[in-house]
Homo-oligomer: A and B are copies of this chain.
Amino acid sequence: MSSTWSNRISFSVFGESHGPAIGVCIDNMPPGESIDMDKLMQFMARRAPGRDQTATQRREKDMPQIMSGYFNGKTTGTPLCAFIANSDQHSADYLKLSKLARPGHADYTGALRYRGFSDPRGGGHFSGRLTAPLCFAGAVAGQILERRGIYVGAHIAEIHKIKDESFDPIRTTRDDIITLRGKSFPTISERRGRMMINDIKKAKEAEDSVGGVVECIAVNVPAGVGSPIFDGLENSIAQLIFGIPAVKGLEFGAGFNAAKMLGSENNDEFYVNEQGHVVTRTNFHGGILGGISSGMPITLRVAFKPTPSIARPQDTVDYSAMKNETIAIKGRHDPCVVPRAVPCVEAAVNIALLNHMLDYPNF
C-alpha cells in the first residue's frame, strides 16, 4: 500500500497538501494508554513551520483532532484516528506550476504513477506536510514508550558541510534527550548550531537550499526486541524513515564507516557489567544485532537532500506538452528541511520500536 505501513501496528496516512484535511488512522494501538495533549502539541510544534528564523514563515494550524480510539483520556485499543484540517493555503501560487515538473520533486513521477489524476497542488499526497500525521502517531507512540523508560531523541548532526558533535553511543541518557527537545535548533554543540543557522541563512539569501543529517538515538530499549531477516528493527525503521520526503540515506551504528574498518576494530566485545547486565564496550553495532536489540543504545543517522524548492531559475519540462521550460519556485519554502525533520525521524523510530515492543513479554 502506498501510504499504509502495516506490521504489528497498522498506520495509514491520508491527505493532500491542499485538500480539506490530512490525518492518520492507527490500528492495534495498545489500550489504556493516556495521551498528554500538551506534550503531544510540543512534539508536533517541533515539526511545524515558522518555529525559528531559518524556517518558512507560513503558519499552519496543525492542531490534530482525535476522531476515534480515545475515550476518557485513554486509548481504547480500537483504531486511533486523527485529522488535521488544512488552512492558510495559497493554491493559486501552486496551480501555476501544475504542469511543470519541479526538479527534485515527485510532480513528474507522481503524475505518471497516477495517470495524471493525482492532486498536484503543493505536492499533493507527496507533500512534506504529510509528516504531520507521522509526528502525531510518533508522539503518541513516544509517550507509550517513555512510560516504559524508553526515550528516543535526535539532533541536527550535519548541515551542508558543518558537523555537530555526535551522540555518545554508550552513555547518552534520557536527560540528554530531554535537553535537546527544548532547543529551537537542536544541536549538541551550541556553537556548531549557530554556524549551521548562518549557513542556512546564507543559502536562503542566495535563493538556494541546503541538506543535512539527523542523528537519532533510543535509550533503554531492552535486549531481545525485533526479529531476524525482513522484520528486524533495521528493516522496520528503514521502511518508515524512507517514508519521510527528502531522505536519501540511512545508517545504523558505525554505518558507512564500518565499511572502512577491520573486524577487530568494529566488533563490539561483550562483557558483564557491575549491574550484572550483558553490555558491549563499544557500540559500532548501533544497538542492533541480527535485527534484534542488544540492550545498548540504538543509533542511526538519516541523510536529507537540500530542499528541492528553490527560487533560482532551473531548467525543467512541461510534462503535459513534453517541452522544455524554465521554472523559478517562489513562495515560502524552507531553505533547509533538516530542523523540522528532527521530530519526524524520532516519530518513525518511536513507531517502529512500539510496534516491535508489542511482542516483548509483559510489555
Contact = CB atoms under 8 A, between A and B. Distances in A.
Nearest to A211: B259
Contact of A315 (B158, B160, B269): B269
A6 B3 contact: no
Which residue of A208, A258, A301, A309 has the most chain B CB atoms within 10 A of its CB atom? A258
A60 interface: no
Given A15-B68, A268-B103, A114 B78 contact: yes
Nearest to A69: B14
A272 B315 CA distance: 10
A248 interface: yes
Interface of A is mostly: mixed
B258 A3 contact: no
B108 A68 contact: no
Given A12-B27, A103-B270, A213-B259, A76 B118 contact: yes
A185 B226 CA distance: 34
Interface residues of A, number: 147
26 contacts: A2-B28, A3-B79, A3-B227, A4-B230, A13-B230, A16-B68, A19-B70, A23-B68, A25-B25, A67-B83, A75-B117, A77-B113, A78-B119, A103-B269, A106-B292, A209-B263, A210-B263, A235-B238, A235-B239, A248-B251, A248-B252, A258-B305, A261-B306, A271-B317, A278-B317, A281-B315
Interface of A: 1-6, 10-16, 19-23, 25, 27-28, 31-32, 65-71, 74-81, 83, 101, 103-106, 108-110, 112-119, 124-126, 130, 158, 160-161, 203, 208-213, 223-232, 234-235, 238-243, 245, 247-256, 258-272, 276, 278, 280-281, 284-286, 288-294, 301, 303-310, 312, 314-317, 319, 322-324, 335, 362
